[in-house]
Amino acid sequence: MVKLSVIVPFFNVQTYAPDTLRSLRANARADFEFILVDDCSSDGTPELLERAARELPGAVLVRHEKNGGLATARNTGLDAARGEYLTFLDGDDWLAPGYFAELLFFIEELGVDFVRADHVQCSGRARSVHRVPQGRRGVVLDPREAILPADRSTSVDYAYAWAGMYHRRLLDDGLLHFKHGLRTAEDRPWIWRLHREARTFAVAGLLGVFYRRGVASSLTQIGDVRQLDFIHAFDQVIEETARDADADRLLPKAVRTYCAIISHQLGTIERFEPAVAKTLRSMSAAAMKRMPQDILKDALNSMDYERAARLRRVRRRTAGAEVSA
């Protein structure tokens, strides 16, 4: 029986994939499988994965005929996974030796639905530790309660799918798949759904994932229209949370986080192409119009002046354009 399925999407990462694949080998075990998803790469990545499929113990290679994006690639891996537990890694990141075995021991000892773990962020030669925003470690916790409070960073703000491990019952319950086609922020509705609907989780004080920032091909570095998928991702968060029995408690957190992300994108708008920047402004204003207005008002009043003013300017400008039309 396969104990752990590791889902690893790759797209045009021939420079970094060798590090990723070496780290998978250093985590291999007889009851582990590594599902390598080639998302229609056009560089030398396919050749690297073909070799890995022959040489990496437990490797399973799956190819997309057209590029679908990270969310779709992860879903392909989930559909192929046979493990009792599941986890993720991105094709340009890497692992410490033996990390998966340690995390697997942790989740089995506590018997929880999922665990979250800290990680090391790597930008060039710089290294920094990023921790799950949850102070209680190594104990069973309620995922729903970890969403709050609304005015602080919480577990749903630490959205990295690869920073954890998940029991197969979550997959069987329909909680692990991502929204097809999302090109960015795909982890946001995913982590919110997990925290709303799973029963138990825990936080492991393990450092074993090395997350590479500043990759030129990463969408976080590209100012094109795909970046605007964060709007669709957070719309999903708002829509699903609004249907929750605890919507009154949870929506203020969802709206405040959405506003903070919109403000961040507007604050770095110069990196976008001009047409995309214009679309970002109009989509942001429309998104705020869709939010529950009383909760939006409270969220803006609770934010610092600079971020709130940025959001209010976009709302006023769009409202003025509608009147003129």
The angle, 0 to 180 degrees and rounded to 10, between the axes of the packed helices 229-242 and 187-197 is 20
Residues 98 and 152 occupy one common structural domain: yes
- The domain boundary, picked from 184, 215, 246, lies at 215
Residues 108 and 148 occupy one common structural domain: yes
Residue 159 confidence (pLDDT): 97
Burial 225-239 (b: 16+ CB within 10 A, else e): eebbbbbbbbbbbbe
Residue 265 confidence (pLDDT): 95
Residues 182 and 267 occupy one common structural domain: no
How far apart, in whole angstroms, are the C-alpha atoms of residue 100 and residue 29?
9
What CATH number does the domain containing 193 carry?
A: 3.90.550.10
Locus of tokens 């420079």: 15
Residue 318 confidence (pLDDT): 58
pLDDT in tens, the chain (325 residues): 999 999 999 999 999 999 999 999 999 999 999 999 999 999 999 999 999 999 999 999 999 999 999 999 999 999 999 999 999 999 999 999 999 999 999 999 999 999 999 999 999 999 999 999 999 999 999 999 999 999 999 999 999 999 999 999 999 999 999 999 888 999 999 999 999 999 999 999 999 999 999 765 554 445 578 899 999 999 999 999 999 999 999 999 999 999 999 999 999 999 999 999 999 999 999 999 999 999 999 999 999 999 999 999 998 875 544 433 2
Residue 17 confidence (pLDDT): 98
Residues shown for the chain: 325
- The domain boundary, picked from 195, 215, 235, lies at 215
Residues 122 and 202 occupy one common structural domain: yes
Kind of pairing, strands 114-123 and 126-130?
antiparallel
Residues 94, 109 contacting (CB under 8 angstroms): no
Residue 224 confidence (pLDDT): 74
Residues 199 and 232 occupy one common structural domain: no
Locus of tokens 């891996």: 77
Residues 196 and 293 occupy one common structural domain: no
Kind of pairing, strands 85-88 and 126-130?
unpaired
Residues 11 and 110 occupy one common structural domain: yes
Residue 311 confidence (pLDDT): 96
- Nearest to 104, CA basis, from 168, 23, 195, 22: 168
- The domain boundary, picked from 215, 234, 258, lies at 215
Residues 30 and 135 occupy one common structural domain: yes
Residues 122 and 166 occupy one common structural domain: yes
The angle, 0 to 180 degrees and rounded to 10, between the axes of the packed helices 293-302 and 305-324 is 140
Residues 177 and 79 occupy one common structural domain: yes
Residue 313 lies in domain:
223-324
Residue 23 confidence (pLDDT): 98
- The number of distinct structural domains making up the chain is 2
Residues 197 and 282 occupy one common structural domain: no
Q: Distance of CA 282 to CAs 81, 224, 236, 239, 273, Å?
A: 40, 15, 18, 20, 14
How far apart, in whole angstroms, are the C-alpha atoms of residue 103 and residue 88?
12
Burial 180-210 (b: 16+ CB within 10 A, else e): eebbbbbbbbbbbbbbbbbeebbbbebebbb
Residue 214 confidence (pLDDT): 77
Residue 320 confidence (pLDDT): 46
149 upstream amide cis, omega within 30 of 0: yes
Residue 316 confidence (pLDDT): 83
Residues 258, 237 contacting (CB under 8 angstroms): yes
Residues 152 and 61 occupy one common structural domain: yes
